[in-house]
Amino acid sequence: MADATVEVNHDVCIVSGMCASLAPEIFDIDDDGTTLEVLQPSVGGELIDQAVGAEACCPVSAIKVTMQ
């Protein structure tokens, strides 16, 4: 099964939390709400759909999902 890589451009991320709401297994915001962390930089299966959905919904296009 194909995998995908998930990258976030932290220079443009505004830590809106949208991706963490849509895909909490992949994205997390730290406790003080200032930093987005990519929990799974490589995903497979249904998590690919979640990653792509988050990519589409990011308000500043900071997420890049690349199929391997």
| C-beta of 1 vs 11, nearer to ligand SF4 | 11
Contacts of 20 (CB under 8 A, 6+ apart): 27, 28, 29, 36
Where does this chain bind ligand SF4 (CB under 6 A)? Answer: 8, 13-19, 27, 36, 58-60, 62-63
- Token pair listed for 40: 């799974």
| C-beta of 1 vs 6, nearer to ligand SF4 | 6
| C-beta of 13 vs 52, nearer to ligand SF4 | 13
φ/ψ of 40, rounded to 5, equals -130, 95
Smallest gap, in angstroms, from Cβ of residue 54 to ligand SF4?
6
